[in-house]
Amino acid sequence: MEHIYNNLQDFFRSMGLPLQQDTELTVHPLDGLHSDQPIEAPLFRTNYYSFLLIRSGKSTYAINGHVFDLGPYSFYFTNPGHLKSFKIEVPLEGYMLTFSEMFIRQYFTSDFYQHFPFLIHETTPVMRLEQGDFAGLEVLFQQMEQEYLSHSPYRNPILANYLYILLYKTKSLLVTYQALTIKTQNRGAEIARDFKGLLKANFRSLYEGKASKVLSIKEYADALHMHPNYLSTVVKAETGKSPTDWIQERTLAEAQTLLTNSTKTITEITFQLGFSDTSHFAKFFKRHAGQSPAAYRKATAL
């Protein structure tokens, strides 16, 4: 059975490699992350986005049944929830960037995925870049690494702006290299994709004041014209997480974003997220975040 990793630190710990992580966005050189010996990772899923820029080395990477060769000037990304594995034959040099849904919610607006729809698509092929395109991206990754290693109190907002640039460059490269999304023939994957699209749309409507509550699993199932139990089974099989897990994680991320980046009162946030009262919201938040909404807001205030 595949394992699900919530962050990069957990993933490398599983491989016996130490790596510290204290933010929801990380930038690391690939040099030295793995041993000099060939290494093969069993099937796994991650709950974060990964972008890899490879200067040299040799590897194969498999996602959702598709296998890609990686070598010099390779650039690719993976989205949360997909089943993947990799095998490194010659040590890789380059950069790896990871970021979470929470980071997106904290630093970007509700129409984020409308600008970057490739972040919710199915499998996207590896791009083999021309030297000039590779060099431009490498400079950007180097700048991000330098900021990531800094102790600036504004490190995360600066990294968010760099990420915005990277995503627009990625969007442009997808067109230049015609790296079209690989359409899956798996009906289960299509259902999981459609569910995640509806989930994002619901929270976007909540953010914009166009919806009054978080949709239930039954309401998602009705929208997709299927039984709730079938939806739950399919989403769990395809992503490793149940619809309930997806809804709760998104609710928590939205709550944390509002507590950190808005001046709304806890009562206002309670009703914006569709909770019936502040007590219910406070219990939900403490159960998932380990502290009360008020304590979280105080701890994250600059």
pLDDT score of 209 = 77
Q: Which amino acid is at 254?
A: E
Q: How many helices (H) and strands (E) does the chain have?
A: 12, 8
For residue 180, name the pLDDT band (cuts at 50, 70, 90): low
pLDDT 10s digits, 239-276: 888 999 999 988 998 898 889 888 889 999 998 888 88
Can you tell me the distance from the alpha carbon of 133 to that of 92, in angstroms, rounded to the nearest whole number?
19
| 254, 206 Cβ separation under 8 angstroms | yes
Q: What is the mean pLDDT of residues 35-43?
A: 75
Q: Which of 197, 57, 26 is nearest to 121 (CA)?
A: 197
Judge whether 240 and 210 are in contact, CB under 8 Å: no
Domains and CATH numbers, the chain: 3-176 (2.60.120.280), 187-300 (1.10.10.60)
Structure tokens at 248: 């709760």
pLDDT at residue 18 tops 80:
no
Between residues 165 and 13, which one has the greater pLDDT? 165
Which pTM was predicted? Answer: 0.69
Q: Which two tokens stand for residue 8?
A: 């990069």
Task: Provide the pLDDT confidence category of residue 230 given band limits of 50, 70 and 90.
Answer: confident
Mean pLDDT score, 34-40: 73
